[in-house]
Structure 1
Amino acid sequence: MTEHIPFIQVIKVPIVADLVLSPTVLYDENGTSICFETEDEQFGRITIQKMDGIRICRGEIPPYHDPRENWEDFEVGTWVYRVENSRWLMERYQYEKKHYGQSYEWGNSVEEMLTDYTHYYFFFHDEFVEVIAKGFWWEKAEQSLLGKPLSMSHPFLKLQTDFTEELNINDARFYIKINPKSHQELLEDVRFCHQTILEVWVKIKGEYFQEGTLKIKENKAVVFSYYQPRFGKDIIIKKGIADLADLENVLMSKP
């Protein structure tokens, strides 16, 4: 197998889709989501982080090489995959670079299409859903999640916590919300999508407004912390999980 041939690698997710029933793909206030029944007769939902493209096709055999010898011998419960050497992802990157390379995402680099985006493959019965995105998150419930709000602890939502820290920098006061998850939990969850470490808010005329977010992302099995301002370019801070001191240095350097 040459290094340029697309192939799939398993992503282990704690829920398993029913292998007989078809999913429902939605575009609503939650963004893009794939809703389905699970093998244990409950309900699941995959929500997509920063989707670039999606396609839904008929078929029960993956259109990509599987390094395992026989597709029929796949491990029970595996139904989510990452497509390596994706031609589709390269096509999308070339399109974005050609048309938006100089004005990409508030001054960010279009090269993030190659570093932060992944081609995902979700396998169902006689049908598969492919997505190019920054990540995804999964949910499971006893009732259908079709059209339902995201769960309270969903990583795509703002933190549902109180302000616990303050930073005074250059005559400005910042109010901080910290994710209650442990660092170990964040490192486990970042395998699926970007995770929020903390949020930065300001108070203007008695009202709070979010100024930015400190997050982590995973790139080629390495975790990076970055600051995402409300407007402007993302700022890579360090490998691993950044803390308040790192954030303070970033805010001090901002104009």
Structure 2
Amino acid sequence: MLSAVAVPVPLAADPESGCRVAWNTLDGTGRVRTAVLVEVDGTSEVGRVTFEGLDSIRVSRGEVLPYATQGGDATSWVFRVLDSPWLAERHRYEQDVYQYPLEDTHDHLVLQLHDEFVEVVAAGLWFDLAPADDPFALTPTHPLASLPAEDEVATGRTAELDWNIRQASHGQDDLLAASALGSQRLLDLTVELEDRLTWTCWVRTRDGRTTTRLDSLLDAARPELTVEGVASIDDVLPHWERRCAEIAESRHSQGRRSRH
């Protein structure tokens, strides 16, 4: 029998309640969203699990997991499967067909909820409370939500392009704790053009190693820049200014001017 290790999470699911699995649900922005909704133990609130880099999902009935669980206690409901054949299978498929490896960025994770369990191959998990009026709406603190204007900490101009940087306002201890479960938004770097072009720095901790990735997409396998630990603005600024210069050169070659 395969083994599964308990994963500490910040949400206590009601052990006597099941869950609602929403697959390919469209939110108000048109983005396809998948989520698992659970009742929070001892409250009337609905907890939500959303997924980073979701590759696969399957749902089964049963009160007993088909894995030998390790660690945790009676309240544990999230587990990571060790040496998962399913993860290996999905890695081979993605690598062979799309040249997109999963073995270093994804896990086989299990959510145990009363008499059913949800399994996913994903790069990470995000936990929050579902808004009462729209359980699929992004909350302001969700990692997929852009940082607000009041978080702006720097502005500049490179090759006639104006840019700004916003930095998440939560403390580093909270950031690191959450990054052990899924990538956390640290910086938004934006070029002010006709359409705002935004790159993001994501912080992720895996197997005790924390890294910061810069990319225009949430892509754990193909970042533009990787920095060990939690990056500072100075760590990413040289790369950012080169990127702005490349954008300006491309626009110049197309006969487009910067916005003033």
What is the TM-score of this pair, normalised by structure 1? 0.83
RMSD between superposed Cα atoms in Å: 2.3
Matched residue, 1:86:
84
Structure 2 residue 212 is the aligned partner of structure 1 residue 225: yes
Structure 2 residue 55 is the aligned partner of structure 1 residue 29: no
Deviations 1:183-220 (A, max 9, x none): 22211110121011110111124xx5133111111222
Selected match of 1:46 from 38, 43, 49: 49
Q: How does 1:56-75 map to 2 (within 5 A)?
A: 56-67=59-70, 75=73
Identity of aligned residues (%): 24
Q: How does 1:184-195 map to 2 (within 5 A)?
A: 184-195=173-184
Matched residue, 1:107:
none
Amino acid at match of 1:58: R
Separation in 2, partners of 1:12, 1:173: 42
Gaps of 5+ in 1: 69-73, 102-109
Matched residue, 2:125:
136
Secondary structure at the aligned position of 1:114 is classed as coil
> Do 1:224 and 1:236's aligned partners in 2 also have CA atoms closer than 8 Å?
no
Return the offset for 1:231.
Answer: 10
Structure 2 residue 8 is the aligned partner of structure 1 residue 20: no
Secondary structure at the aligned position of 2:95 is classed as helix
Return the offset for 1:253.
Answer: 4.0
Separation in 2, partners of 1:45, 1:231: 20
Secondary structure at the aligned position of 1:181 is classed as coil
The 1:172/1:129 distance shift into structure 2, 3 A limit, reads: same
Matched residue, 2:4:
8
Secondary structure at the aligned position of 2:13 is classed as coil
Return the offset for 1:130.
Answer: 0.4
> What is the number of equivalent residue pairs in this alignment?
234
The 1:187/1:58 distance shift into structure 2, 3 A limit, reads: same
Structure with greater contact order relative to length (CA < 8 Å, sep ≥ 6): 1
Gaps of 5+ in 2: 28-32, 247-260
Deviations 1:122-159 (A, max 9, x none): 00111100011111111236x75763412221112111
Matched residue, 1:153:
141
Return the offset for 1:66.
Answer: 2.3
